[in-house]
Chain A
Amino acid sequence: MLSHVIRRLFEAMLILLGITIVTYMLLYLFPADPVRQIAGRSATPETVNNIRHQLGLDLPVYEQYWRYLTSLLQGDFGRSYIQKTEVAQLIWSRLPASLLLMVAAISVELFLGLTMGVISAVKRNSSVDNSLMVVSFVGVSAPQFVVGILLLYVFAVQLGWFPIGGYGDAKHLVLPALTLGLLGSGWYARMMRSSMLNVLEQDFIRTARAKGVSKFRVILRHAVPNALLPIIAMIGIDIGIFMSGIVVVESVFGWPGIGQLAWQAIQRVDIPIIMGVTLVAACSIVIGNFLADIIALFVDPRIKLK
């Protein structure tokens, strides 16, 4: 168990290092100039050069990267070019809001998706199955900004059930969590349906039926746990997709999380913030996958760690 954790941690470090290199190079190749953004349009060439020198942006790219990496290893994410505050502090203050949204959205996604998948599989080829699959198809296909705006229009503007945006009580959470979760729920519905159909054909399901176990219990106790095994690994991978969704949804709903922070930073080429948010997102993906592995370990007795 411990050796497994150590191996995974080592892999995670390598992945994160790779991500810093790739992100840094992408930002360097980005056609916008951060110095121009800071200095403004009317700044003299001297001012521009001064700022460039201050930020170390006149150094060769590998040296810039090296500086960034060494300070990162000391826990220093750098300072925002625009807001002049510590990046770590900025991210830290916004992380809870994003995590809250993520947990809520994942709950929506899993609850809706898995339920739809199970019902579809059990009622295979019925009208219920067909309509659920159409719904899930729409969920998978609709872009999040469209779903978000649609939900806003219907439930906030027209019906007035939920606030239009912002951060506060549970009411604020509902629409952004739904927007984020609906896409994924379509996905999970389809995955769970095929996984369930596969499991329902297994011999041990017939054994359970032959024991006299009720249909309901056969589904919940025998089929669902087995059908979940491939889904668990999916959840780990899914967090990456979530991270990109969060940028869009937080902007649409004015949710003060790291997604919104990233969006603002990208518009102003605020490299330290972009780097910081990317790293946090990468970390969450690595952690998500790791958790998925650990959960699978507890759910599936056949996976053994030596």
Chain B
Amino acid sequence: MSQTQSRSPVLEVRDLITQVATPTGAKTIIDTLSFQLNSQETLCIAGESGSGKSVTALSIMGLLPPSAHITQGEILLEGQNITGLPDREMQKIRGGDIAMIFQEPMTSLNPVMSIGSQLVEAISTHQNVYGRDAETIALKSLDAVRINESKKRMKQYPHELSGGMRQRVMIAMALSCNPKVLIADEPTTALDVTIQAQTLSLMNDLKRDFDTAIILITHDMGVVAEMADNVIVMNQGKIIESQPVKDLFLTPREPYTKDLLAAVPKLGSFKDISPVPKHINEASDPVSPLVEVRDLTVRFDIKGGLLQRPVSRVHAVEKLSFDLYPGETLALVGESGCGKSTIGKSLTNLIPWNGSIKVDGQELAGLSAKEMLPVRRKMQMVFQDPYAALDPRMTVGDLVGEPLIIHGLANGSELQDRVAKLFTQVGLGPEYMDRHPHEFSGGQRQRICIARALSLEPKVIIADESVSALDVSVQAQVLDLLKKIQDELDISFLFISHDMAVVEQVCHRVAVMLLGQIVECGPRDTVFNNPQHPYTKRLLDAVPIADPTIKRKDRKLPTGEVPSPIQKLDYTPIIPELHHIGNGHFVRDVQEYR
């Protein structure tokens, strides 16, 4: 710190207050925020949703929505105050001196403009170069972010590129004008973990090459540890704590920071909890599996051409087998497109599938919707987005009670009692029953979803990315709730997730999926401590570690894209055997893995 303090900061924010107009008067979103940013420094602004970190970025960019205003304070860019500059002046700064990239690479590029013309637009806006010359600079920026075949990419449109590539295009666009400051708002949150690792490492390299300072906004303390030089922790618009990254992780000063750090799931930190459900220890009394999946195959045709014939095929799940035991949590983990969510949908018969699924000994293949009803009672789902999963026009009490009515299990005062009990079970009082979903926070809504799933007293709950949309502290609470419910009710969980650290926290066994198949499966500790398949290793290597003393340089960086399950029609998948290597640990042959 001492050597950087002698230089004047690139960006300085002094006592910034941003307010938004609401029907009940002005509401302060950013409350006297101050910080300094030096060149080649990465400042991470960390905090949970609603902490004001994105509004900070928009305030600096002058891109606040019309209802929000900076009411006090200064933003100094190289000593010059840029607050209150007319829009015409701010345009020169935006994209020129301060560039920004956003969370959603899938929607952040204009779908009807080619990559090239979007890059050229940024360049021509700020650098007074046009046509061929601007294209040359655009090509150079694409090369700088390591996009292969950059000439071809220039002519392509956003939908032809993967999410990771689009985010790299965004970075190329942001850096094409050599900005002094790059603001990155959750730049890797929407990306797969291996792509996230690549993108973060790229940003670190570019910071050096382009002599840029970075403000990185993130909720992920792992990303903070990996990227930051200095960290600001924000809550409710205020700076809670500001420290160099190592000090923050080693000696957090404020209780809020301590809680935040404690809630972060860390790989390898859950060894002390019994990794096996109680009955598996008792080898004398073998338990038969609750759910038996054998050779499950799900394929979707992609249609096209004159007669809408199939032109290619998505091999979502291929000849996949697993067992789920009573009281056990089995995690299915993998990157986007690996087929993990498809399995959840197959188990509840929501999509057509081939193979055999037995629940409690009953075969599901060929069951009619009516015959499926009692099976559904045994198997309930909890989805990712608690905001979309609850009908906004029903009270939450009705929502939780609805399954009981559908299955004809309760009505009248008995229904009320059972719903009240469910609310207590998930840590919400029965007094909340008459409210509507919009009155609850994300975490509370997910509790309501869990209560709804529990209402039928199921034996299995399929949790499809059920905590991914939640803040870490809330995430930890919901995970605790799931564990508590499992202890009380002996329910089995099929826990579908992309997040290795979360998976490690809850599961007894883990199955790592790649291209619709399991590549490795076994007890949690065995798989996490002694991964055998290169893909498992690759996934584990990519997870950002919430410990700033371990830097990415020391670890292997995953390369390449997430493989696609879309294949030509004549493709026959190779189904390699899983080999038992002892202790319930199964691994697929490694030779065929590229």
Contact = CB atoms under 8 A, between A and B. Distances in A.
| A and B are partners in one complex rather than unrelated chains | yes
Contact of A7 (B113, B122, B306): B306
Interface string B148-166: 0000000001010000000
Interface in B46-73: 61, 63
Contacts of A212: 91-96, 122, 125-126
Most buried by B among A213, A214, A302: A213
Contacts of A7: 306
Nearest to A299: B112
Given A210-B61, A211-B125, A211-B173, A302 B111 contact: yes
Interface stretch (A186-194, A201-209, A250-258): A201-209
A226 interface: yes
A226 B112 contact: yes
B107 interface: yes
Size band of the B side of the interface?
Answer: 20 to 34
Nearest to B176: A211
B159 A302 contact: yes
A208 B304 CA distance: 34
A300 interface: yes
B95 A206 contact: no
B121 interface: yes
Interface in B76-134: 87-88, 91-96, 99-100, 102, 104, 107-114, 121-122, 125-126
Contacts of A300: 111-112
B269 to A, nearest CB: 35
Contacts of B173: 207, 211
B125 A222 contact: no
A264 to B, nearest CB: 43
A143 B579 CA distance: 78
B333 interface: no
Contact of A301 (B63, B88, B107, B159): B159
B311 interface: yes
B170 interface: yes
B306 A204 contact: no
Interface in A1-23: 3-4, 6-7
A197 to B, nearest CB: 13
B247 to A, nearest CB: 32
Given A212-B93, A306-B311, A6 B306 contact: yes
B582 interface: no
A6 B307 CA distance: 11
B374 interface: no
B305 interface: yes
A306 B303 CA distance: 10
Given A300-B112, A302-B157, A302-B159, A210 B107 contact: no
Contact of B91 (A203, A213, A221, A301): A213
Contact of B107 (A3, A203, A209, A229): A203
Contact of B305 (A207, A229, A306): A306
A204 B63 contact: no
Contacts of B102: 203, 206-207, 210
Contact of B109 (A4, A207, A209, A299): A207
A96 interface: no
Contacts of A208: 110, 121
A225 interface: yes
Contacts of A306: 304-305, 311
Given A206-B63, A206-B102, A226 B94 contact: no
Nearest to B304: A306
A41 B104 CA distance: 77
B94 A225 contact: no
Nearest to B123: A211
Contacts of A229: 112
Interface in A126-171: none
A213 B93 CA distance: 11
A299 B94 CA distance: 29
A306 B88 CA distance: 45
A2 to B, nearest CB: 9
Nearest to B109: A204
Given A210-B61, A212-B92, A203 B125 contact: no
Contacts of B107: 202-204
Contact of A211 (B87, B94, B114, B305): B94
Interface residues of A, number: 27
A226 B109 CA distance: 12
A301 B112 contact: yes
Nearest to A207: B108
A116 to B, nearest CB: 21
Given A207-B108, A211-B173, A3 B306 contact: yes
Interface string A211-252: 111110000011001100100000000000000000000000
Contacts of B99: 210-211
Contacts of A203: 102, 104, 107-108
A213 B87 CA distance: 11
Nearest to B103: A203
B57 to A, nearest CB: 10
B158 to A, nearest CB: 8
Contacts of B100: 210
Contact of A210 (B94, B109, B113, B159): B94
Given A215-B87, A302-B159, A306-B311, A204 B110 contact: yes
Contacts of A302: 111, 157, 159
A219 to B, nearest CB: 13
Nearest to A4: B306
A62 B108 CA distance: 60
Contact of A3 (B110, B159, B305): B305
B112 A211 contact: no
Looking at A6, A211, A221, A229, which has the most chain B CB atoms within 10 Å of its CB?
A211
Q: For A6, A203, A207, A300, which residue has the most chain B Cβ atoms within 10 angstroms?
A: A207
Nearest to A214: B91
Contacts of B61: 210
Interface in B355-392: none
Nearest to B159: A302
A212 B110 CA distance: 15
Nearest to B114: A301
Interface string B221-240: 00000000000000000000
Contact of B121 (A202, A206, A213, A226): A213
A206 B109 CA distance: 9
A175 B185 CA distance: 55
B111 A211 contact: no
Contact of B157 (A3, A206, A226, A301): A301
Nearest to B305: A306
Contacts of B113: 221-222, 225
Nearest to A3: B306
A204 B91 contact: no
Contacts of A4: 306
A204 B304 contact: no
Nearest to A213: B125
B331 to A, nearest CB: 32
A117 B347 CA distance: 48
A300 B100 CA distance: 26
Contact of A209 (B63, B93, B159, B170): B63
14 contacts: A3-B306, A7-B306, A203-B108, A204-B109, A211-B95, A212-B95, A212-B96, A212-B122, A221-B121, A226-B111, A301-B111, A302-B111, A302-B159, A306-B305
Going nearest first, the 9 A-B pairs with the smallest beta carbon separation are A212-B95, A211-B95, A3-B306, A212-B94, A301-B157, A306-B304, A203-B107, A210-B100, A204-B110
Given A212-B122, A226-B111, 10 more contacts: A3-B305, A203-B108, A206-B108, A207-B108, A211-B125, A212-B91, A212-B93, A212-B95, A212-B96, A300-B112
